[in-house]
Amino acid sequence: MRTYDVPLNKSVWVDREQIAALASEWAPQEFVMPSWREPWYPEDDETFLQFIGIANALNFCYTEPGKEKFAIQWNDMLLSGSAGLMAALLRAREEGTDILDPRVLERLTPERVRNIFRSDAGPLPLLNERWSLLKFLGLYFSFIEIETFEDIFRNCAYRADRIIAFLTQKLVEVYGRDVAPSAQGGHRFDKRARLLPLMYAGRAQSSEGLRPLTNAQAIGPVVDYQVAKTLRQLGALEYVAELDSKIEQGIPLVAWSDEEFGIRSASAYATEELQERINDQRRDVGLAEITMVELDYRLWSSGRKLPGSHHPCMTTAY
């Protein structure tokens, strides 16, 4: 069922003909479901869900305007962006700070958070916001009967829709603030709340010990700057010249401005439209339908390889 209507925006619009062409090109191809087993994720499945539950609470905004992208040197690798964030959390555990323990999160100080995310290339933006989110997580798990993200998934019967609803309604301060203001229609995007079950679904399919999600189709579009960049570079989205110029110059967009909201709402619609068209064609030739787990990975990983810039925005949403 489609979540987003065709967006009407003066800065961004959707090219449905190009989406149809892209769907025809991609439909017969093999889609990869990522297993998230890179070195900057825990090797053991037992701690993976707790780790990404905490890490995805912080998974946003890696470049401060006018500075290099956040990166750390870890295990002979220079890792930037989200990979750098994950590695920093693993490094913290190696150094004796068990970031998987809510009691530890509850007692974190701003100074300790700065040390956890000390960088080798570019500072990690919005550190105070990240500290607050870690504190909220620690306090939440300390004062309720649910103690881990595994408890949340189990209580939600491993249903993506219930998990997303729980995260956005119960863990509001951490996962539930990705909502446009009323002036923009109050649309929910919930990027990080959707990303959590999406990543879990990928890991579970390559694991004997993790129970798979029962309805990964309910995850919906996971909209961030890399997805928008891919859709723009492939012609599925078109921006007015002024917005194009801002992005290429690295001028930050204001969160929930008409331009930034237009990019995200158009990206969400285009992603759903693309998935729908791909699956229509795959059904016609007897191929298995894809979920957002596979499509998001195709869009996200493609954006990292394509030339051009993504739109910068200082936000905790993505």
Residues of the domain holding 293: 12-305
**pTM (2 d.p.):** 0.95
pLDDT value for 147: 87
Identify residue 18 by its one-letter amino acid code. Answer: Q
What phi-psi label fits residue 308: left (phi over 0), alpha (psi between -120 and 50 degrees) or beta? Answer: left
pLDDT < 70 positions in the chain: 1-6
pLDDT value for 303: 86
pLDDT value for 24: 98
Q: State phi, psi for 15 to the nearest 5 degrees.
A: -100, 95
* Residue at 283 is within a domain: yes
Domain count, the chain: 1
pLDDT value for 198: 98
Q: How far is CA 147 from the centre of its chain?
A: 23
pLDDT value for 5: 62
- Which ranges of the chain does DSSP label H, i.e. alpha helix? 16-26, 45-55, 81-94, 102-106, 110-116, 127-143, 149-155, 160-170, 172-175, 191-204, 225-233, 241-249, 258-284, 292-305
What is the C-alpha to C-alpha distance for residues 143 and 140, in angstroms, rounded to an integer? 6
* Residue at 215 is within a domain: yes
Place of tokens 């787990």: 293
Q: Let me know: does 233 contact 308? Beta carbons within 8 Å.
A: yes
The mean predicted confidence, pLDDT, of the chain is 95
What is the C-alpha to C-alpha distance for residues 168 and 213, in angstroms, rounded to an integer? 18
Measure the N-to-C terminal CA separation of the chain; round to a whole number of Å.
24
pLDDT value for 224: 94
* Residue at 2 is within a domain: no
pLDDT value for 1: 53
* Residue at 187 is within a domain: yes
Q: Let me know: does 89 contact 99? Beta carbons within 8 Å.
A: yes
Tell me the pLDDT tens digit for each residue of 81-106: 999 999 999 999 999 999 999 999 99
Rounding to the nearest 10 degrees, give the CA dihedral for residues 210, 212, 213, 214. -140
* Residue at 311 is within a domain: no
Tell me the pLDDT tens digit for each residue of 26-64: 999 999 999 999 999 999 999 999 999 999 999 999 999
* Residue at 5 is within a domain: no
Give me the residues paired with residue 79 across strands. 72
* Residue at 313 is within a domain: no
* Residue at 258 is within a domain: yes
Q: Could you tell me the CA-to-CA distances from 231 to 26, 94, 163, 256 in Å, in that order? A: 13, 39, 27, 20
pLDDT value for 185: 86
Q: Let me know: does 201 contact 291? Beta carbons within 8 Å.
A: yes
Element (H, E) at 239: strand 237-239
